[in-house]
Chains A and B, each alone.
Chain A
Amino acid sequence: MELIYGKTMTISPEAERSIAAYRHKVFIELLGWDMPVQDGFERDQFDHEDTVYVMARNDSGAVCGCARLLPTTSPYLLSEVFPQLLNGVTPPCSPEVWELSRFATVDFSAQTTNAMSQFSSEICVELLHASIHCAYQHGAKRLITVSPLGIERLLRRMGVHAHRAGPPMTIDGHHIYACWIEIDEITIKALDALSEKTYDFTDMASGRHSIQD
């Protein structure tokens, strides 16, 4: 499996298109989410030049996972569309908080793909690990995410330090909630133990870290 990440301008236009097509297959065709689409691609107003993408490709080169990272210093999904999930709190706006969204790890070349399998466990661990490291390199100390409620169980099983920001809500027939993921020793240790890859989080204690795009 290959993991690729970068902003819209740094990944190739072909990679961006394959992410949008993959998102259409997962979120529109498989999960039936009601979202704007165009010609088989799923994109929204939060896919712009500052958006950071993380993509996983299987050995055949097909996309088998994707994630989207947005700084909370600009408008993001939770702040603009789902602020009601934050238990009355103002949506975060900090360079140390990034939003993780459009996270999916369906490998369509695997035989067991069904509506329950938005997340393949091995790809899920690797994609989450890479996404957290990528966000960390951009200065994040915490992630906030809007997710289907089932994700919470998955994060707990992995041992990641995650907790809900407020109660779940039922929106368009889906149970969703806002979730905090802490980029701390608990999370890093849990993912290091599960993942085949190792990332450098050595500056975490000093709080010094930033990315060069």
Chain B
Amino acid sequence: MLEAYQQNSHQVSICTDGYIRLTLAQFEALRFEHLFSGIEYEPSNSLQNECGASTTIFGYTEWISTTSPVVSLGWDWNLHGQNRKAYCVHSGDVRSNVMFVDNHEKDLGLEQTSLLLERWLSSFDWSARVLDTL
């Protein structure tokens, strides 16, 4: 209980290098709001003249924490469909201003931070919100 209180009352602060350093538990206690999303237009011109060719709809989305300073997250997505229902699946890295640290406040590094953000994203419910805004 005490641990949970400490996590939720963590003051988010920004370091001089621009990173917001958090443990995974502190990060998971944050609330995120949708900022904006958009569709990317395919850079390739190769399909333009191929009538009926399949294409992929993909885009980006941006989310911010309700804290100040703000934790900023962004990722790309591809549009999929199943049983006449559309949904977004994330692709690539989660881009952010976060550096995860361990319980001794030691940086976990870019790779580990990236992995943890991707893992977190897989349990975050974002697809419907993105589709609503498009």
Interface residues of A (CB under 8 A from B): 87-89, 112, 114, 116-117, 142, 149, 152-153, 156, 161, 163-168, 170, 175, 180, 182, 186
Contacts and interface: CB of A to CB of B under 8 A. Distances in A.
Interface string B64-97: 1000111010101000000000000000110111
B58 to A, nearest CB: 12
A167 B35 contact: yes
A184 to B, nearest CB: 11
A176 to B, nearest CB: 12
Contact of A164 (B60, B76, B97): B97
Contact of A163 (B19, B35, B92): B19
A132 B70 CA distance: 28
B45 to A, nearest CB: 7
Given A88-B69, A170-B36, A165 B97 contact: yes
Contacts of B17: 142, 180, 182
B74 A88 contact: no
Given A87-B14, A153-B76, A167-B64, A161 B110 contact: yes
Given A164-B72, A167-B72, A180-B18, A152 B35 contact: no
B14 A89 contact: yes
A163 B18 contact: yes
B41 interface: yes
Contacts of A87: 14, 18, 69-70, 72, 97
Interface string B115-129: 000000000000000
Contacts of A161: 110
B44 to A, nearest CB: 9
Given A87-B18, A142-B17, 17 more contacts: A87-B14, A87-B70, A87-B72, A87-B97, A88-B68, A116-B41, A117-B43, A153-B76, A156-B92, A163-B97, A165-B97, A166-B18, A166-B69, A166-B70, A167-B62, A167-B97, A170-B36
Contacts of A168: 35, 62, 72, 74
Contacts of B35: 167-168
A153 B72 CA distance: 15
Contact of B69 (A89, A149, A153): A89
User: 5 nearest interchain CB pairs?
Assistant: A167-B72, A165-B18, A87-B69, A116-B43, A164-B97
A175 B14 contact: no
Contacts of A114: 43, 45
A166 B43 CA distance: 27
B26 to A, nearest CB: 17
A89 B17 CA distance: 10
B18 A167 contact: no
Given A153-B92, A156-B93, A175 B18 contact: no
Interface centre among B36, B43, B95 (most CB of A within 10 A): B95
